[in-house]
Amino acid sequence: MDPRPGSLVCPGCGKLISGYLTECNFCGLKNPARKKQILGLVGLGPLSMIRPIIGVSILLFGLSYLLPLLVPGMPRTGGSGFLGLLPAPSPYALALLGWADPQAVFSGQWHLLVTAIFLHGGFLHILFNLLWVRDLGAQAEALLGPRLMFLVFLVSGAFGNLVAIVWPLVPLSLGFEGRFAPVVGASGAVFGLMGVIMAYAPKRAGFFGLGLAKQMGQWAVALILLGFLMPGISNAAHIGGFVAGWLLGKLLPAGKAKLGLELAAWAAVGVGVYAFLFQGWNAYLALA
């Protein structure tokens, strides 16, 4: 396996560099990608949060199809899905698992803004989102470390979901039609990763970071424009997530995370666990 990702933090000096360099252009360390991989194999490197994010998302996606088979009377699908061949998950199952229903969120169930990040409405939806998580998550972890990456992922995803939920209030306030609908998906969090990389990379990597920031900006603009052309895309979540990630990237200090940030990152993990435990209890009460 080629150990060279698109970018990585040099294990010798802590600077962000291209994963394809054979020698760090800051400290001169030979084969930094290989040495970083070795440190990870012997347990000296940080544990990635990418696999847990992907694993939880896939598990919940499977449950969204399995629950209708286990709960008598629950409709099994939500209509046609991938290429009209594979059905979409049951909306009743997604509601039990914690989609961000506007009425429930407005009534105080704010944890749904978190649980909805890990739910998806179809095979293409989860496929594209998790491919982006794998790619952008690795770059964000190289910049921030796994726990801070997860903090950005969770905060930007939740904020993107909130923006998507309240966005219909804008046309309604202007006298136009606005439709409230439940929200699912990690796309707000994905755009948050783009935003944080765009804002933070120049602090750590000089010209390489500037190039990476430019690339993130181009991707974000292209995908948002594409979202206006495709039905069923929540550009409000995309824009909200991107803005949240960008602001976090501007606020985060360059260099090693301080104790307060580390505690906040661990708190994000705790919030994610709590959100699903709370929703699991709600689902149990609903089915009892």
- Structural domain boundaries of the chain? 1-45, 48-287
Are the C-beta atoms of 79 and 65 separated by less than 8 Å? no
Q: 7-9 and 16-18: which strand pairing? A: antiparallel
Sheet strands (E) in the chain? 7-9, 16-18
State pTM to two decimals. Answer: 0.83
The structural architecture, per CATH, of the domain 48-287 is Up-down Bundle (1.20)
pLDDT tens per residue, range 29-48: 777 777 666 555 444 455 78
Residues of the chain with pLDDT under 70: 1-7, 9, 11-16, 25-26, 35-46, 76-85, 205-207, 255-257
Are the C-beta atoms of 139 and 206 separated by less than 8 Å? no
Which pLDDT belongs to residue 3? Answer: 41
Token pair belonging to 139: 């770059």
pLDDT tens per residue, range 182-222: 999 999 999 999 999 999 988 876 667 788 889 999 999 99
Residues 6+ apart with CB under 8 A from 44: none
